């Protein structure tokens, strides 16, 4: 049986927004993520807040700081994913967070509770594949235990690799060859945040990655408008929108309605024939 991530890529390109749990408060963030899921998102990066988000720009840094000040924790975040599943959210939910809080929580505990909650995968920006052996070991152990206990047919939770324009060819080949789920391709150097235009040479960069893998290639960093999403979607298998999503929804007087409109606009841009 295919897992939810595989199913999401049946019709490409997919729309993949990012939103952090706990912003502007926990209940609102759960409602926002549900609204994104039910109004056009194909897969959602669910943010785990951390005090030192080194890959993120000012918009996401501010949002995650607010979430931390409001008391968000790893445990509350995992419980929130479970609530989303109970509300009928059926699309893939991938946890996006930094390694320190996960390590402090306990790898095996974190992975097992994530599996029970209904998480489909992980993106950890500060955990390169060369240093991910301990996490992968815990991940494979949890998946094996799940299969033995028949807890879930969707037990394979990949650690999604990230590649960038600066990635050397030899490393790109190694990472792409072993990738599972999809590849998160950073379109520009620097931190997250919307840009004025799509990065030059993006098509060539995607082609470099695809030469080494058959898993979907999704592009993030710098995509802020439906028009930019359409442009990137013509090249990639998925479009990741983080800062623009957080800024638009977070600045609205009605975040849930803003989320519905945001998801619908990007979905329409990517699905227009």
pLDDT interval class at 52 (50, 70, 90): confident
Q: Is 220 domain-assigned?
A: no
Domain membership of residue 72 (yes or no) is yes
pLDDT at 193: 43
Structural domain includes residue 130: yes
Mean pLDDT of 105-112: 97
Residue 45 designated active-site: yes
pLDDT tier for residue 188 given thresholds of 50, 70 and 90: confident
**Tokens 């409001």 — which residue?**
70
Q: How many domains does the chain have?
A: 1
The answer as to whether 201 is a domain residue is no
Distance CA 23, CA 173 (A): 37
State yes or no: is 237 an active-site residue.
Answer: no
Q: At 54, is the pLDDT very low, low, confident or very high (cuts 50, 70, 90)?
A: confident
Domain encompassing residue 34: 14-160+236-271
Whether 124 is covered by a domain: the verdict is: yes
Residues 205-258 have pLDDT tens digits of 999 999 999 999 999 988 999 999 999 999 999 999 999 999 999 999 999 999
Report the mean per-residue pLDDT for the chain.
91
For a pLDDT cut of 70, what percent of the chain falls above it? 90
Task: Average the pLDDT over 71-94 and give the result.
Answer: 98
Question: φ and ψ at 218, to 5 degrees?
Answer: -115, 140
Split at pLDDT 50, 70, 90, the class of 146 is low
Q: What is the pLDDT of residue 142?
A: 76
Residue 27 covered by a domain: yes
34, 42, 56, 120: the catalytic one is 56
CATH of the domain at 71: 3.20.20.70
Residue 117 lies in a domain: yes
Pairing verdict, β 93-96 and 183-186: unpaired
142 versus 187: the higher-pLDDT residue is: 187
Express each pLDDT in 115-143 by its tens digit. Answer: 999 999 999 999 999 999 999 999 988 76
Segment 75-88 shows an average pLDDT of 98
Catalytic annotation, pick one of 7, 27, 34, 45: 45
Global pTM reads 0.92
Each residue's pLDDT tens digit, 147-162: 555 444 445 799 999 9
Q: Give 41's pLDDT tier (boundaries 50, 70, 90).
A: very high
Query: What is the reported pLDDT for 198?
Result: 65
Residue 65 lies in a domain: yes
- The pLDDT value given to residue 199: 67
Residue 1's pLDDT band, with cuts at 50, 70 and 90, is very low
> 189-202, pLDDT tens digit by residue?
544 444 455 667 89
């Amino acid at each position: 049986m295919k897992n939810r991530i595989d199913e999401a890529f049946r019709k490409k390109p997919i729309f993949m927004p990012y939103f952090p749990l706990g912003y502007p408060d926990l209940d609102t963030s759960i409602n926002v993520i549900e609204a994104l899921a039910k109004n056009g998102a194909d897969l959602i990066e669910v943010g785990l807040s951390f005090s030192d988000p080194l890959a993120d720009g000012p918009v996401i840094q501010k949002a995650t700081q607010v979430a931390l000040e409001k008391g968000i924790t790893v445990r509350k975040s995992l419980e929130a994913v479970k609530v989303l599943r109970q509300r009928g959210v059926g699309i893939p939910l991938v946890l996006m967070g930094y390694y320190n809080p996960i390590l402090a929580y306990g790898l095996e505990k974190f992975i097992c509770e994530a599996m029970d909650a209904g998480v489909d995968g992980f993106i950890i920006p500060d955990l390169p594949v060369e240093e991910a052996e301990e996490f992968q070991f815990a991940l494979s152990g949890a998946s094996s235990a799940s299969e033995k206990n028949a807890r879930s047919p969707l037990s394979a939770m990949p650690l999604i690799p990230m590649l960038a324009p600066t990635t050397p060819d030899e490393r790109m080949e190694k990472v792409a060859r072993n990738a599972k789920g999809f590849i998160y391709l950073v379109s520009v150097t620097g931190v997250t945040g919307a840009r004025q235009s799509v990065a030059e040479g993006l098509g060539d960069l995607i082609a470099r990655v695809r030469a080494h893998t058959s898993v979907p290639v999704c592009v993030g960093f710098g995509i802020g408008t439906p028009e930019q999403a359409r442009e990137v979607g013509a090249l990639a298998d998925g479009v990741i929108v983080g800062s623009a999503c957080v800024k638009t929804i977070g600045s609205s007087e009605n975040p849930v309605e803003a989320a519905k409109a945001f998801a619908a606009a990007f979905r329409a841009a990517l699905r227009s024939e």
